[in-house]
Structures are given as C-alpha cells and as structure tokens.
C-alpha cells in the first residue's frame, strides 16, 4: 500500500488507547501475576520494572520509529529501510512469533468466555477455594469445552480484523480500556480488605534481592516484552498507522506506564486474595481463574447481587482486554500476508485464523488429553509460551534495538522523534544510548547466562 491509502488512526488518544489496548491484556492480568508468583513476588516486580525502563521502552520507541517511517507491515518495513540486507528476517521472525503466540493466547482468551458463562449462571455462589481449583482443573483438562471457546474467540477476532483497522480497534478500545481500569481498582480495594490480605501485600512489595538470579531476570524480561507487545512487530505495525503528528516518545511512555500500572493492579487484586484464602501464589496459569471467584464470593458475601454483577462484569472486561490483544496479534500476521502476498484481507485473515486454530487445538489438548506429549519436559502449551516469550521475543527485541541504534541513519531517528523538527526530543541521546548499548548487550547477556554458556 502507498502512504496515502494506508488507514490512519483518527485521534491522539485513539493512538494511545489502541496501543495500550494491544499491550494490556492477559499478559498483565493472567501472565504477570503467575510469573510474579512463581518468582517470589516483590523481587520479580523490581526486576520487571528495570526491564521495562531499560529494555522495553527503548525497544518500543524503536518499533514505533521503524513502523511509522516505513509505513508498511513489519517485514516490509525492514526491507524498505534496509533494502537487500538480512534485516528483513527480523520482521519475518516477528510475524512468526505473533502467529505462535496467538495460537496459545487464544486458548486462555477462550477460558475467559467459559468464566463469563459460569458467572452469568451464578455458578460461583457458595463455593470454596477448593471447589474453584477442582472446577478449573476439570474444565481445562476437558477436551471439547475449551476448544469451543477457542473457536468462538478466534472467530470474533477474525471478524473484527476483516472489518478494518480504524473502526474496529479504535472504537472498541476507547470504551473498554477505561472500564477495565475502573473495575480493577474496585476489585483491588475488595481484595486488600479481605481478612489475612496483608501477607499478600508483603509478598508483592517486599523484594528479597538476594533471590535475583538469571532465571528470574529472563522471566522478568520475557514478561516485559510479552506484556508490552514487543518483539514481534506488533507496535511496529500499529505505528505504521500513526499520523505524522503523533509524539512517539510520549506515546511509548504512556503505554509503558498504563501497562505497568495495570500489571501491578492485577497483582494487588490477586495476591492479597490468594493469601487470604490459602491459595499458593505459585499455582501457575490457573491462578486468576481460581483466585478471583473467591474474591467475589468473600468480599461481597453479604451482597449476592453485587457479587454476581462484579463477577460477570470482570470476566467480560477480561475477555475484552484479551480481544484487543488478539486483534493486534492477528493484525500483524494478516497485514503481512495481505501486503506481501497480495491476498485479499479476507483471505489473509482466514489463513491466520485457520493456522491459529490448529495451534490452539494442540495447545488446549496438551493440558488434558495430550498432556503426556512433552518435549524437554514442557507440554505444547508451555512449550509455545517458553519458545515465544523467553526466546523469540528477547532475540527479536535485541535485533530491533540494534537496528535502530546502529544501522538506521540517525537523521531518520531524529526526524521521527521530533516529527521532522516540529517537536522537542529531550530524551534523544538517552534513547540512542539505550538502543545502542544497554538493550542489545543486556538482552544478550541475560540470554547467554540463562542458557548456561556463562555461569554467573
Ligand atoms: N501484550 C499483550 C498482553 O499483555 C499480549 C500481546 C503480545 C499482544 C504481543 C500483542 C503482541 O496480553
């Protein structure tokens, strides 16, 4: 597509909300708490915040620069900015990663639909912690139920993608994101007022820096990339729809702040409640699905109508947050197929949906019927998560940072950060320094250390 006929986001706030809509999702509300729970709570959060500031934000700005300057899907963007070089593989790697993530992300997104139904039919009423654990296990190991939800979720994503960029994504984000934020705050208040909640707050905010090791740093870094939607050209593709007046640095900072606040709020909603009812913080992927129904029951025990409404609303908004993320994952791959292979958007979208259905099928069954199919100790679901979040995203982030830090002409970078000299870019030097030195070496170091080539 040419510069003129690529769609554009309509407004400044629309840009921030749509990018934040991609960033805020199950990564913050489902994945962040369980990764934090697996890695000691407060310690994880401190390392996570460093990863966002030193690695995540610079890479986000780099993706914005590439996307808006090239005005093309992520794979084409590299080809345009670095013709006839191997850099195009960074874009292609991103597209592949996006597709793999969508394959298992949509499974969890489907779970949110099951929980909407359970909430609507008031099935949480009168249940205890043990019942929620049993119910989740029964559901997630069941063969067909999660598959139906997976199918429906991907179908919904598919239709929004086919409707086009501006209308679908922007309109939805404007309403859903603020509502989710407000509900989260209400639930945090409920959770921290449960008896016994203090232990959860201590767990979350008392770091023990002696526990920092390379596995924890890799997990925090992977989570930062995952949560900020980085390393797969997602924000790069979005930035190709930004207008020339969008302030890239400010947009990145806003998205980073919103995303981190939502993650910490999710932690504050989950852990006090988990400790209050004796659920282990390292329960893994089931954590939010077994903890939250408890919050609704216990916090609003005397007001069943409020408990009912809060639970229905929460799962609807969680599904919506997941949807804005699945849309963006889908968009990366669809835009690539549409623009590179000249498929119609409809056909490109159908291919993506089908591939993700197949991946999701195996990911979902690997938690039940196919759970003995393991590679290096991980089932298919865990394997996709590990491969994408802990290997592919960091590698791609490292290459993106190096591309803008070392390869790209600094005049282009300056032009993008100052909108062709019309706004100031006080952070220019720091951004270049982080992109040139800190992000590439930091990521490489963590990586090499974790795969055991170095033993620090
Ligand atoms: N950042 C999203 C989340 O936190 C997940 C995602 C990853 C979306 C990569 C798009 C691209 O849920």
Distance from residue 390's CA to the centre of ligand 1 (Å): 14
Q: Which residue in 67, 79, 94 sits closest to 412, CA to CA?
A: 67
Average pLDDT over residues 307-321: 88
Nearest atom in ligand 1 to 25's CA = 12
What secondary structure, in 3-state letters, does 137-193 show? HHHHHCCHHHHHHHHHHHHHHHHHHHHCHHHHHHHHHHHHHHHHHHHHHHHHHHHHC
DSSP secondary structure string, 93-148?
HHHHHHHHHHHHHHHHHHHHHHHHHHHHTTTTTT--HHHHHHHHHHHHH-SHHHHH
Q: So what's the pLDDT on residue 302?
A: 75
Counting atoms of ligand 1 from 1, which one is nearest the CA of 231? Answer: 9
Atom index in ligand 1 nearest the CA of residue 32 equals: 4
CB 102 within 8 Å of CB 330: yes
Residue-averaged pLDDT of the chain: 89
- Amino acid 359: pLDDT: 97
Angle made by CA atoms 413, 415, 421, in degrees to the nearest 5:
145
pLDDT at 5: 52
**Mean of pLDDT values over 340-357:** 95
CA of 226 to the centre of ligand 1 (A): 6
C-alpha of 97 from chain center: 13
Higher-confidence residue of 377 and 408: namely 408
Mean pLDDT of 280-301: 83
Q: How confident is the model at residue 161 (pLDDT cuts 50, 70, 90)?
A: confident
Q: Return the structure tokens found at 162.
A: 């086919």
Q: Is 25 in the pocket of ligand 1 (CB under 6 A)?
A: yes
The arithmetic mean of pLDDT across residues 277-288, rounded, is 86
pLDDT at 166 over 70: no
With a 6 Å cutoff on the Cβ, whether 55 touches ligand 1 is: no
The residue-averaged pLDDT of 289-302 equals 80
Q: Which pLDDT value is given to residue 4?
A: 43
Mean pLDDT of 190-197: 88
Say how far apart CA 273 and CA 256 lie, in whole Å: 26
- For 24, list phi and psi in degrees, rounded to 5: -80, 120
| Token pair in block for residue 265 | 């709020």
Are 180 and 321 a contacting pair, CB within 8 Å? yes
Question: How far apart (Å, rounded) are the C-alpha atoms in residues 378 and 375?
Answer: 5
Ligand 1, atom 6, lies closest to the CA of: 229
The CA-atom distances, in angstroms, between 244 and each of 8, 254, 314, 378 are 10, 18, 36, 45
* Pocket perturbation via mutation, ligand 1, pick of 18, 21, 22, 74 by most ligand atoms within 8 A of CB: 22
First to last CA, the chain: 49
Can you tell me whether residue 375 is helix, strand or coil? Answer: strand
Indicate whether residue 231 lines ligand 1 (CB < 6 A).
no
3-state secondary structure of 378: strand
Query: Quick one: pLDDT at residue 264?
Result: 95
Q: From 26, 34, 56, 226, give the residue whose CB has the most ligand 1 atoms within 8 Å, as the site to mutate.
A: 226
pLDDT higher than 80, residue 196 = yes
- The band of 93, judged by pLDDT with boundaries at 50, 70 and 90, is very high
Q: Whose CA is nearest to atom 9 of ligand 1?
A: 229
CA of 84 to the centre of ligand 1 (A): 30
3-class secondary structure, 283: coil
User: What residues contact residue 158 under an 8 Å CB cut-off, 6+ apart?
Assistant: 330, 349, 350, 353
pLDDT at 143: 80
CA atoms within 13 Å, Cβ hemisphere of 83: 2
pLDDT, mean of residues 179-195: 89
Per-residue pLDDT reduced to its tens digit, 208-241: 988 898 889 999 999 999 999 999 888 998 898 8
pLDDT at 18: 78
Q: What is the mean pLDDT of residues 403-424?
A: 96
What is the mean pLDDT of the segment spanning 121-125? 89
**CB of residue 101 inside a 6 A radius of ligand 1:** yes
In the reported structure, the alpha carbon of residue 349 is separated from the centroid of ligand 1 by a whole-number distance in angstroms of: 18
């Amino acid at each position: 597509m040419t510069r003129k006929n690529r769609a554009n986001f309509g407004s400044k706030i629309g840009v921030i909300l749509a990018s934040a809509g991609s960033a805020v999702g199950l990564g913050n509300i489902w994945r962040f708490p369980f990764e934090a729970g697996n890695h000691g709570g407060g310690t994880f959060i401190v390392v996570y915040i460093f990863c966002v500031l030193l690695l995540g934000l610079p890479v986000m700005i780099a993706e914005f620069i590439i996307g808006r300057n090239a005005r093309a899907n992520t794979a084409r963007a590299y080809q345009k900015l670095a013709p006839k070089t191997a850099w195009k593989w960074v874009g292609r790697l991103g597209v592949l990663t996006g597709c793999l993530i969508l394959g298992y992300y949509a499974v969890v997104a489907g779970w949110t639909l099951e929980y909407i139904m359970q909430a609507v039919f008031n099935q949480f009423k009168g249940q205890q912690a043990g019942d929620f654990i049993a119910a989740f296990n029964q559901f997630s190991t069941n063969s067909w139920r999660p598959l139906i939800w997976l199918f429906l979720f991907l179908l919904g994503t598919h239709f929004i993608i086919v409707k086009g960029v501006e209308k679908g994504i922007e309109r939805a984000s404007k309403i859903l994101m603020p509502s989710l934020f407000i509900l989260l705050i209400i639930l945090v208040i409920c959770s921290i007022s449960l008896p016994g909640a203090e232990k959860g707050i201590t767990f979350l905010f008392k770091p023990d820096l002696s526990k920092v090791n390379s596995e924890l740093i890799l997990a925090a870094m992977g989570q930062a990339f995952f949560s900020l939607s980085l390393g797969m050209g997602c924000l790069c593709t979005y930035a190709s729809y930004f207008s020339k007046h969008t302030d890239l640095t400010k947009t990145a900072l806003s998205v980073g702040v919103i995303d981190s606040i939502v993650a910490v709020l999710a932690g504050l909603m989950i852990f006090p409640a988990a400790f209050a009812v004796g659920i282990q913080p390292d329960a893994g992927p089931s954590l939010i699905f077994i903890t939250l129904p408890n919050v609704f029951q216990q916090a609003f025990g005397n007001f069943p109508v409020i408990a009912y409404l809060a639970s229905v609303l929460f799962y609807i908004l969680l599904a919506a947050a997941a949807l804005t993320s699945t849309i963006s994952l889908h968009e990366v791959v669809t835009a690539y197929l549409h623009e590179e292979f000249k498929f119609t958007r409809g056909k490109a979208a159908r291919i993506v949906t089908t591939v993700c259905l197949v991946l999701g099928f195996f990911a979902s069954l690997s938690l039940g019927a196919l759970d003995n199919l393991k590679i290096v100790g991980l089932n298919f679901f865990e394997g996709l998560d590990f491969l994408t979040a802990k290997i592919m995203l960091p590698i791609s982030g490292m290459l993106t940072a190096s591309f803008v830090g070392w390869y790209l002409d600094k005049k282009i970078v300056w032009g993008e950060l100052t909108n062709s000299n019309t706004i100031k870019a006080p952070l220019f030097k720091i951004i270049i320094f982080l992109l040139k030195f800190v992000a590439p070496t930091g990521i490489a170091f963590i990586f090499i250390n974790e795969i055991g080539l170095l033993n620090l």
